[in-house]
A and B are shown apart, each in its own frame.
Chain A
């Protein structure tokens, strides 16, 4: 189980690095779609089935097709900047600076996980505060077998109202940005 988990995560890192360094944007988008699919598999492995369903439908489905739809309007290939490259001909100066920033931030974040509770600990603070009550009371109070749906729709219903409004706002933003009302269309 740990071996499969580790192999999937390693595959994720390889796909992510390949997705951001391809020159053809269509290749990057295809790799991003397969990244979403592999991370959906990882979530089935971690027993988060609702999240895996949503990620496979939304991430690998809708997000990929939206980015391909943008490619009908913008150019398809990335342009090479004309600066001089150091360090085995891979990075130029601004990219080296970005790499240094990223490495320092990563080291700081990893040092922050040094004292975290172990992976899979049933007594960690995240797993013992409110969730046992939700697991106990969700079937007698709402009659639903899926605890995630019961929490999403009934115990945290207000957040779901906010999320529906966020999705609605994204559609309104796109209508305002792109839709054109020419005189001969009316």
Chain B
């Protein structure tokens, strides 16, 4: 598919817009429909588009296995660490009201933003991992 001029041009043109749409969905998670899961899936679809048009090795070189494996657990770690940090500052597990901000409402708000970021990172890395493991030739 990499010999087709239209596909190559449109893909190179659309990739930054797809990734910015993913960040937009993540940032507007509490004002409009959206949130962490949808943002992670849309971000991973940009790398899957590279794999479909330019080949799997090309896409793998842009997101190497080591980086992908580290990103898998980083998101979950951010989530659980926020919960543990709430215990250190005096509340229960995942009680964001006790985080050291001005009021309980602001603590809740910032806590939600942090964990949505963690969820988006993990889901993006997971979708990329699953696609790159399943797709391929028989003798891989």
Q: A-side interface residues toward B, CB under 8 Å?
A: 49-50, 52-54, 57-58, 61-62, 65-66, 69-70, 72-73, 140-146, 148-150, 152-154, 157-158, 160-161, 164-165, 167-168, 170-171, 174-175, 177-180
A62–B34 CB distance below 8 A:
no
8 Å CB contact of B134 from A145, A160, A167, A174: A174
Given the complex of chains A and B, what is the CA–CA distance between A143 and B109 in angstroms? 6
Interface SS of chain B: helix
Interface SS of chain A: helix
B4 adjacent to chain A (CB < 8 Å): no
- Nearest 5 pairs between A and B by C-beta? A144-B30, A69-B135, A153-B112, A49-B33, A142-B108
B41–A171 CB distance below 8 A:
no
List, sorted by A's number, 28 A–B pairs whose CB atoms are closer than 8 Å: A50-B34, A53-B33, A57-B42, A57-B45, A58-B38, A62-B41, A66-B134, A69-B134, A141-B105, A143-B108, A144-B112, A146-B29, A146-B30, A146-B31, A146-B34, A149-B34, A150-B30, A154-B96, A158-B93, A160-B119, A164-B79, A164-B123, A167-B123, A168-B122, A170-B130, A171-B125, A178-B133, A180-B140
Q: B-side interface residues toward A, CB under 8 Å?
A: 29-35, 37-38, 41-42, 44-45, 48, 69, 72-73, 75-76, 79-80, 83, 93-94, 96, 104-106, 108-109, 111-112, 115-116, 118-119, 122-123, 125-127, 129-131, 133-138, 140
